[in-house]
Structure 1
Amino acid sequence: MRKYQIVLLILGSLVLGLAVLAAVIAGFSEFVFRDDASDDFLVSASVSGFLGGVFLIFGQGARPEINHHGAVGLTAGAWLGIPLLAAIPFLGDAGGLDWTNAVFESVSGITTTGSTVITNLDETAPSILLWRAILQWIGGIGIIGLSIAVLPFLRVGGMQLFHMESSDTSRDRVVAQPGHLAAYIALLYAGLTLLCMIGYAMTGMNGFDALTHAMTTVSTGGYSTYDASMGAFSPDAQWVAIVFMLSGAIPFLAYVRLVSRFNRRNGMFEEVSGFLLIVAGFTLLLIIAEFPDGLGFMQELRQALFSTVSVITTTGYSAGDYQDWGPLAVVSIFILTFLGGCAGSTAGGFKTFRLQIAMKAVARALNRASLPSSVTTERHAGKNLSDEDIASVTLFGGLYVSTFALAAILLAGMGLDFETAITASATALANVGPGLGDIIGPSGNFAALSDAAKWLLCAVMLLGRLEIVVILLLFTPRFWLR
């Protein structure tokens, strides 16, 4: 039990932090918004504060070290437990949701998926809208920390290639100490959010909308304060969204490298360039799909680029219904749903680096088949790719496809039509938000789905956000017996 005290100590600190945020929103609700939601947030603050205090008491005297088991326990405890506590404000009169819908909204927020069950955002209490945005903002920086500190440590899905702080030599470190790295990333995250907020304000958004959308843009979450999403704002606001959605989907370690003295000619930028090439290619496809509509080139470019970036970064904003552009657009968007952004960013999805490694593995296999005696070494992120790295990515790919297929089959068994079942599974696993079709498409939401379907999608959202393996380890007896 003693080796898990550090887990309780950290979890207690996180839960107490959530309690403080709920208390602050209660104050805004009472004295600024006056939307009668303060009691709901005070209840959330009380429950979270009590549990956080209990965790801290049992975590006293913990050793400042954590092993594999503790890392998995901490990750699972935080990402499974915090959404349940964060759902409490949605249960009151201001939120108007039952327990299933409240948890769905909270899980979708924390995982930065952006799927929603609230049907009238335009009339929803401002404190609830702010709470949704804060959940996504917290989830965004949380996944950056997970991608940098935990997943490489656990060697999940090829993420060991990004274990930047493992070297004992200062030449291989991004910054001198891990604590400095965390501070850099937090400042960069806050700075990008502030810049995004200023950009939105300059396009005519009011302060509240600029703040909430800045938090859900940089976190690539996609929650909006209006049912029309980004379609409620000017084209200039959509250009700002494009810039900062892309910013959120680029590795934050790349930003640290750019502002530090670290060697900028690193393989990490190979992933960034590959990601931007994919964005450019699919934008061209959507421009071709839009061409028969006879729109001006700049309008076609903006709509195509916005839709491409919104989906591939897993933000999920909508500025119109791309399903009206025809089959080419629908198929392109469906493929984009799976791809995702870069490793170490706020974006979800399969990740660009895994696609690149898969292509290099295919090239190596073809080369060996052509010249059996040849010896080739592939590199990624400035490092040689080992057979273990390729096997890890291959395993993750198999798990990813299997999870998608199983969830789609289960959703179809619950009565959902083919298009809804397939795209709901895909968008939940990739943490994108909207799917395709009349029910969960860009113009719809997830309110009409059954409770069973929503609980299943909650599980899939968490699996996608935690890269599947972390959750599976919880149910692997051999892992806990090590």
Structure 2
Amino acid sequence: MMVPAVYGTAVRELEAARAFFYAGLLGMIVFTLVAVAHAGRMPRHGALGPLMSLLSAFVALPVMLALPFYEALPTTRFINVYFEMVSAITTTGATVFDDPERLDRTLHLWRAQVGWMGGLVMWIAASAILAPLHLGGFEVTAQAEPGRRESGSGGQRAHADPRERLIRVTRALLPIYFALTLLLWLLQLFGGETPLIAICHAMSIMATSGISPVGGIENANIGIPGEAVMFLFMLFALSRLTFSQDTVTATQGGLLTDPEFRIGLLVVSVVPLVLFARHWIGAYDVAEFENISQAAQALWGAVFTVMSFLTTTGFVSEHWATAQSWSGLSTSGLILMGLALVGGGVATTAGGVKLLRVFALYSNGVREMQRLVHPSSVSGAGAVGRRLQSNGAFIAWIFFMLFAMSLAAITLLLTLAGAGFEEAMIMSVSALSTTGPLMQHAAEAPIAVLELGVAAKIVLCGAMVLGRLETLAIIALLTPDLWRS
């Protein structure tokens, strides 16, 4: 909170600066007292204790994060600010403030910063908390059941002190995360972007939060070179192997053979071509197909936007609308919803179902078709591949079913809270896939979250937390092992 306090003082937004300064002091005092009270105590919640702490952080911490925001913007209700902070810390990026001009620059910086910190939390939690418990996508290639540790040497390593593991992972990943954000910020500054917008967009790209102080990069006028730089940094959300070797796929041949990275590149290559072909046919009907400049811009707009929604960032290219003006055809929001549902890589800041689970189901389908032709054949995929084709695909299918039931339940609750069916479906997909900008771009008209009732906003807050932690992690918290210990 001291960062926006200093920035608010520098730009003479003194009321906001004072709110963040006092809230920061209050927070340091409270958490220091809590730390002193817990000093020297042994954890009493066993293996799932860190997971419960992670859930508590997403539910309770936004209350503290919302205090300076609420003090600096007294014209809104606290539920709106709490929704904003839950959306930011879960890297969803949905906002109740459709008009960026309503918020001060300090508040925009705070939204982006909270989203950036939420992305960092997930980067660290993936290795330090979810991986030992085989959750968050790690269960697809693990031998143990989700929420349980393997026996043997791997289990002995997993029983290391959770605090030591958190510190070790933080020391390894924090410099990488910070350096990549700083590099992206500097590259945008060299491209002529203003410092505040550049740092907010840099933090949003690294956290895949899609938070923007100007309502999206289509309003930033950074051009194709600036979008190309962002595109390159979105690759980090396709696979953990782009920046770390701590996942189970790291031993399978590196990044070039990583199934998540290859599937992501395939989607980013094929879907824009399909969209471009559709718009080209529309342009042919209106005799606009010879406009090469608009065609190139339309193709790039499709490539960037597909990459953005596949990584659950949600930024729309400046030239996304060029395709519509070129052909006269609109782009279906179902495509964007489908991309967000697929999501990015395991153990990244991206949300969604995750590419590894999609690959597991694909491998299982291919294997089953081979067995139709050769029933007695033995898979040549190796021990890891065979486990992925059988147990991994089974667990991935379970997750798909849980995700579908969660989607149906959230949609039903939102309709009971007064939302229309189409709006409820879009908001449910947006929250569960942590892709907030879907609410602005998937429907014919942007969904006004501010006009929703309190019940609907609470349901969306719960859905965003559920989408960030995933259903399997929540179910793991309900196991008796946690409470017996």
Q: Scaled by the length of structure 1, what TM-score is found?
A: 0.83
Q: 1:302 aligns with which of 300, 303, 322?
A: 300
Task: Determine if the alignment matches structure 1 residue 417 to structure 2 residue 420.
Answer: yes
How far the C-alpha of 1:384 sits from its partner, in A, is 4.1
TM-aligned CA distance change 1:189 to 1:228, over 3 Å: closer
How far the C-alpha of 1:137 sits from its partner, in A, is 0.6
SS, match of residue 452 in structure 2 = coil
Please show how residues 328-407 of structure 1 align to structure 2 within 5 Å.
329-376=332-379, 378=381, 384-385=387-388, 387-407=390-410
Q: 1:242 aligns with which of 187, 211, 231?
A: 231
- Partners of 1:157 and 1:219 in 2: how far apart? 17
TM-aligned CA distance change 1:230 to 1:426, over 3 Å: same
How far the C-alpha of 1:464 sits from its partner, in A, is 0.6
Q: How many residues align?
A: 452
Q: 1:56 aligns with which of 2, 21, 35?
A: 35
Instruction: After superposing the two structures, state which structure 1 stretch, 281-290 or 64-73, moved more.
Output: 64-73
Match in the other structure for 1:3? none
Instruction: After superposing the two structures, state which structure 1 stretch, 28-37 or 420-429, moved more.
Output: 28-37
Match in the other structure for 1:272? 261
Please show how residues 450-461 of structure 1 align to structure 2 within 5 Å.
450-461=453-464
- Partners of 2:176 and 2:395 in 1: how far apart? 30
Match in the other structure for 2:310? 312
> Is the contact between residue 141 and residue 392 of structure 2 (CA under 8 Å) also seen in structure 1?
no
Task: Determine if the alignment matches structure 1 residue 84 to structure 2 residue 84.
Answer: no
How far the C-alpha of 1:445 sits from its partner, in A, is 4.6
TM-aligned CA distance change 1:50 to 1:382, over 3 Å: farther
Paired AA for residue 316 in structure 1:
G
TM-aligned CA distance change 1:368 to 1:213, over 3 Å: same
Match in the other structure for 1:11? none
> Is the contact between residue 336 and residue 438 of structure 2 (CA under 8 Å) also seen in structure 1?
no
Match in the other structure for 1:149? 128
CA RMSD after TM alignment: 3.3
- Partners of 1:381 and 1:95 in 2: how far apart? 56
TM-aligned CA distance change 1:472 to 1:388, over 3 Å: same
- Partners of 2:76 and 2:389 in 1: how far apart? 49
SS, match of residue 258 in structure 2 = helix
Match in the other structure for 2:145? none
Q: 1:159 aligns with which of 130, 135, 138?
A: 138
Instruction: After superposing the two structures, state which structure 1 stretch, 216-225 or 180-189, moved more.
Output: 180-189
Match in the other structure for 1:126? 105
TM-aligned CA distance change 1:381 to 1:232, over 3 Å: farther
Q: 1:284 aligns with which of 252, 256, 273?
A: 273
Please show how residues 89-104 of structure 1 align to structure 2 within 5 Å.
89-94=68-73, 96-104=75-83
How far the C-alpha of 1:36 sits from its partner, in A, is 1.9
Could you tell me which runs of 5 or more consecutive residues in structure 1 were left unpaired when the two chains were aligned.
1-21
Match in the other structure for 2:205? 217
Match in the other structure for 1:39? 18
- Partners of 2:382 and 2:78 in 1: how far apart? 48
TM-aligned CA distance change 1:77 to 1:180, over 3 Å: closer
> Is the contact between residue 276 and residue 299 of structure 2 (CA under 8 Å) also seen in structure 1?
yes
SS, match of residue 348 in structure 1 = coil
- Partners of 1:134 and 1:284 in 2: how far apart? 35
Match in the other structure for 1:192? 180
SS, match of residue 451 in structure 2 = coil
TM-aligned CA distance change 1:454 to 1:282, over 3 Å: same
TM-aligned CA distance change 1:351 to 1:441, over 3 Å: farther
TM-aligned CA distance change 1:377 to 1:363, over 3 Å: same
- Partners of 1:456 and 1:144 in 2: how far apart? 26
- Partners of 1:36 and 1:156 in 2: how far apart? 43
TM-aligned CA distance change 1:442 to 1:309, over 3 Å: farther
TM-aligned CA distance change 1:196 to 1:361, over 3 Å: same
SS, match of residue 447 in structure 1 = helix
TM-aligned CA distance change 1:62 to 1:475, over 3 Å: same
Q: Scaled by the length of structure 2, what TM-score is found?
A: 0.83
How far the C-alpha of 1:383 sits from its partner, in A, is 8.1
How far the C-alpha of 1:210 sits from its partner, in A, is 1.0
How far the C-alpha of 1:394 sits from its partner, in A, is 1.8
Instruction: After superposing the two structures, state which structure 1 stretch, 288-297 or 349-358, moved more.
Output: 288-297
How far the C-alpha of 1:91 sits from its partner, in A, is 1.0
TM-aligned CA distance change 1:100 to 1:62, over 3 Å: same
Match in the other structure for 1:467? 470
Instruction: After superposing the two structures, state which structure 1 stretch, 337-346 or 226-235, moved more.
Output: 226-235
How far the C-alpha of 1:264 sits from its partner, in A, is 8.1
Could you give the per-residue CA deviations for residues 404-446 of structure 1, whole angstroms, max 9, x where no partner exists? Answer: 1111122122222222111110011000112357896685552
Could you tell me which runs of 5 or more consecutive residues in structure 2 were left unpaired when the two chains were aligned.
143-148, 158-163
Instruction: After superposing the two structures, state which structure 1 stretch, 453-462 or 152-161, moved more.
Output: 152-161
Alignment identity in percent? Answer: 27
TM-aligned CA distance change 1:288 to 1:413, over 3 Å: farther
TM-aligned CA distance change 1:84 to 1:474, over 3 Å: farther
- Partners of 2:331 and 2:446 in 1: how far apart? 19
TM-aligned CA distance change 1:377 to 1:303, over 3 Å: same
SS, match of residue 92 in structure 1 = helix
